[in-house]
Structure 1
Amino acid sequence: MRKKLLPVLAIFVVIMFLGQPYDSRAETEVQKIEKEIRKIQQQMNKAAQEKKQAEQNVRQLSAQKAATKEDIVRLMNEIAKAGEELVATQAKIDAAEERLMRTTKELEAAEEQRESRDELLQKRIRMIYMNGAVSYLDVLLSSTSFDDFLTRFNAMKLIMQQDKSVLEQSKQYEAFVAEKKAQVEAELGEVRNLYAEMATRKANLELKERQKEVLIAQLNEKIEETEEISEEAEKALMEFGQKYSELLEKKKKIRNYYTGGKLGLPLKREYRLSSPFGYRIHPVTGKRKLHTGIDMAVPEGTPVYAAESGVVIVAQTWSGYGNTIVINHGNGLWTLYGHLKPGGILVEKGQTVKRGEKIGLVGKTGTATGYHLHFEVRKNGNPVDPAPYLK
């Protein structure tokens, strides 16, 4: 009996020794896959963070661009106003120059009149000087009669009054015109100084406006660069998601749940299709780009259901998508559920879900203008129109 047991024990021992390396190899392979999965998850998280940061930067740059455009509009209005003020001031300068020209002519005429009257007085003085003894008294005494005397006396008196009046009027008028000219020159100087200040202000405004235009161009360039970073990060996320799915398949956790046909609706209540699949003007960025899914507008907190059975490969905040779930249904088919509310992700990464199972709640996280479910269908990682897949 003992001899018969020995061969059996020997065979059992051999099996034990052979079995241990096999189990060890299997365990090592699983560990390697799990390690690779963790690495992929870290890369996905990093890519998601980079995309989130890039989109935040785009929003900040876009806000700065909008503010700069408002500054440009304000500056253009100020430049237009300054231009109008310059035109009005130039009109004042023209009017003042015209008044100065008239006043100058008046002063020249006054000076000519004074010189003429001065010349007349000087002639009269020269005559008196040249006649020597002849005086006003001689003229009076040489009168032939009393009437002649009165006539000569009145004439002499009138001449003396005129001489005195001419001297006073000439001085007063010349002083008046000179004062008037000085006032006009002072006014003209002030208006010209005002014009120079306004012209300088207008030039400074135009310089600021040009600087703002340069800033707009720089912001546009930065926005384009940042959007490229965001798009590259999104592409990387999809690539990581594909690798993650392949690794899960290696662990036999994913089978081909989807074998063709229609998908189930992700909502079990009426909704409004607020944006279909296809190219559109983005409601936030204002740029024309592909809308990679359909937007189904419903109230906040509306339950979201899995369109098909599969394994959750994304259950996290995913940049512009906000809180997002991505399910791999096998055969290269994924579905994506975006903009879920805070706390609205009800499944975990790696979890197997069934068709029609409640997985999330509608919100407007990420880049969204209102409450809706952003639903995508992706074939081999590429977005396709969900409409043909839905009932």
Structure 2
Amino acid sequence: MNKKVVFPIILTTVLVCTMIPAVGWAENSSLEKINQEIAQIRARMSEQKKNISSLEQQISAIQVQQKELEDQLLYIDMRRNETQNKLDKLDGQIEVTKGEAVKAQQQLDEAVERVAKRDVLLKTRLRAMYEHGTVSYLEVLLGSTDFSDFLNRFHALQTIFEQDKRILEENIRDKETIEAKKKEVDEHLAKLETMFAEAEKLKADLDSQYKQSVAIKAELKEKEEDLHDSLVQFEENLLAMARQEKAKLAEKIRMQGGSVIASGGKLGLPLPPGSFTFTSGFGMRTDPFTGKSAGHNGLDMAAPKGTPIYAAEKGVVILAGLYRGYGNAVIIQHDETYSTLYAHIREGGIQVKVGQVVQRGEKIAEVGSTGRSTGNHLHFTVYKNDVAIDPAPLIR
């Protein structure tokens, strides 16, 4: 061989061999940097999730306080109504008792007037006896001219005696009866007025409590709204971080060879051929739980429990755990556009971790029936720009 030809070939080979480690080192360095950036983003997302959880707990606590205040306001309002009814009833009783007191006072005034008239009558008789000299009942009887005159004088004296006795008894009775009645009415009126004053004070206290509770409720409502505003801001920040993470994952995937989906390829079967039966397709169907027509965002593939589940394409695991009604689930991000969901995985059946790079056809989990499921099957969803699309045309 010509030496002039051999030397350039050898030189080229040496240069290529020298450059390969340098290129590999550069790629590894860039990949490590991306991994660090992803880890930092996830750390910030984790802290943000804690903040969101704390806010949600505070909002929940405030809502509990608001419910308790609502119950308290209802109770106070009920007692206010009861107290007002009591006040109205007492007010009516007071008016009636005042009428009785006026009537009793009138009766007492009349009795006093009767007593005064009787006193005048008795004083007139005493004055007449004084003016004509003191004459005993015995002298009147002994002055009789005959027996008939004696009887007449005796009956006359008896009448005077009975009349005087009756006047005195009526005086005593009138005074005692009417004064007792007046005292009873006054005591009853005083008692009613005391009860009215106590009820008024209770009503005032209840009104004060009601206003205070309303004010506290307004403060709690304002605080809840502020927390909701903060929560919205935190959730927006978390969403922005999720977009950053997705962008970094897409960059990582591109560095590792890109996605077959993005280049127009097909997805691999997520279950071994012949091991499953399609039981539900993408689109509208009858919900097995409610019996109503509802949308279905993926394919259901019935298979025995423990059947291996494979990654439909190369990508990075972004979720590996419980996921709402899907039970145990895995989500793989394939590039900046596509991701796939594998749901209802059996307990202990997840074989991958978040951040792990998986290859097409690599086992990631095992079939189960966790979450909102009626039997062992795999629910498989394909997302394009975070919107579910029919997986059937993409599977080969």
Instruction: Report the TM-score, using the length of structure 2 for normalisation.
Output: 0.71
> Hey, what does 2:55 align to over in structure 1?
57
Of residues 369-378 and 159-168 in structure 1, the stretch that sits farther from structure 2 once superposed is 369-378
Residues 58 and 227, structure 1, Cα contact 8 Å, conserved in 2: no
**TM value normalised by structure 1:** 0.72
Which residue is 1:249 aligned to?
254
Greater relative contact order (CA < 8 Å, ≥ 6 in sequence): 1
- 1:353-372 to 2 correspondence within 5 Å? 353-354=359-360, 357-359=363-365, 363=370
What's the CA shift for 1:212? 2.5
Q: Pick from 219, 233, 241: which aligns with 1:236? A: 241
Distance 1:71 1:304 in 2: 54
Which of residues 105, 118, 135 is equivalent to 1:107? Answer: 105
Determine helix, strand or coil for the equivalent of 2:365.
strand
Residue-pair matches, total: 362
Q: Deviations over 1:154-174 (max 9, x none)?
A: 221022202321221133123
Please give the alpha-carbon distance, in whole angstroms, between the structure 2 residues aligned to 1:234 and 1:26.
Answer: 34
How far residue 76 of structure 1 moved from its aligned partner, in angstroms, is 0.7
- 3-state secondary structure, aligned to 1:327: strand
- Aligned residue in 2 for 1:87: 85
| Aligned: 1:174 with 2:172 | no
Q: Cα distance, 1:354 vs. partner?
A: 3.1
Q: Give the 5 Å matches for 1:298-309.
A: 305=309, 308-309=312-313
- Cα distance change on mapping 1:358 and 1:162 into 2, 3 Å: same
What amino acid is the match of 2:32? E
Say if 1:261 and 1:389, in contact at 8 Å, map to a contact too: no
| Bigger CA radius of gyration | 2
Q: 5 Å matches for 1:163-312?
A: 163-210=167-214, 211-252=216-257, 254-257=258-261, 259=264, 305=309, 308-312=312-316
Q: Is the 8 A contact 1:315 1:345 kept in 2?
A: no
Residue 45 of structure 2: aligned partner: 47
Matched, 1:385 2:388: yes
Q: How big is each residue's C-alpha offset from its partner over 1:120-154, in whole Å with a ceiling of 9 and x where there is no partner?
A: 31353145336643367379738772233123202
Equivalent residue letter for 2:248? K
Aligned to 2:283: none
Please state whether the residue corresponding to 1:24 is helix, strand or coil: helix
Q: 1:303, CA displacement in angstroms? A: 7.0
Aligned equivalents of 1:251, 1:329: Cα separation in 2: 11
Provide the rounded CA distance (Å) in 2 between the counterparts of 1:193 and 1:120. Answer: 43
* Counterpart residue type for residue 350 of structure 2: I
- How much does 1:26 deviate? 4.6
Aligned residue among 330, 335, 339 for 1:325: 330
Q: Deviations over 1:259-289 (max 9, x none)?
A: 36788679968585669xxxx9xxxxxxxxx
CA distance in 2, matches of 1:263, 1:233: 32
Q: Is 2:153 the counterpart of 1:149?
A: yes
SS at match of 2:131: coil
Contact between 2:328 and 2:343, CA under 8 Å: does it hold in 1? Answer: yes
CA distance in 1 between counterparts of 2:378 and 2:370 reads 7
After TM superposition, give the deviation of residue 54 of structure 1 in Å. Answer: 0.9
Where 2:340 maps in the other structure, the secondary structure is: strand
**Conserved 8 A contact 2:101-2:186:** no
Q: Quick one: structure 1 residues 223 and 268, their matched pair in 2 at CA, closer, same or farther if it must change by over 3 Å?
A: farther
Partners of 1:231 and 1:341 lie apart in 2 by 33
- Partners of 2:311 and 2:100 in 1: how far apart? 93
Pairwise CA distance, 1:334: 1.3
Inter-partner Cα distance in structure 1 for 2:85 and 2:380: 60
Cα distance in 1 for partners of 2:41, 2:61 equals: 30
Given residue 227 of structure 2, which amino acid in structure 1 is its aligned partner? K
Letter in 1 for 2:56: V
User: Which residue, 25, 28, 36 being the options, matches 1:27?
Assistant: 25
Identify unmatched segments of 5+ residues in structure 2: 281-286
Pair 1:112–1:179, CA change in 2 (3 A): same
What are structure 1's unaligned runs of at least 5 residues? 281-290
| Larger CA deviation: 77-86 vs 321-330 | 321-330
Taking a change above 3 Å as real, the CA distance of residues 88 and 342 of structure 1, as seen in their structure-2 partners, is farther
Question: Partner amino acid for 2:340?
Answer: T
Counterpart for residue 288 of structure 1: none
Counterpart Cα distance in 2 of 1:52 and 1:376 = 29
2:318 match? 314
Structure-1 separation of matches of 2:202 and 2:373: 45
Q: Which residue identity lines up with residue 102 of structure 1 in the other structure?
A: E
Counterpart contact for 2:328–2:345, Cα < 8 Å: yes
Looking at structure 2, the residues matched to 32 and 333 of structure 1 have their Cα atoms a distance apart, in angstroms, of: 23
- Could you tell me which residue of structure 2 aligns to residue 285 of structure 1? none
Structure 2 residue aligned with 1:158: 162
**3-state SS of the aligned residue for 1:345?**
coil
Same amino acid, percent of matched pairs: 15
- Structure 2 Cα separation of the partners of residues 317 and 311 of structure 1: 17
**CA RMSD after TM alignment:** 4.6
Q: Is residue 80–residue 206 contact of structure 2 (8 Å, CA) maintained in 1?
A: yes
Contact map agreement 2:253 2:335 (CA 8 A) in 1? no
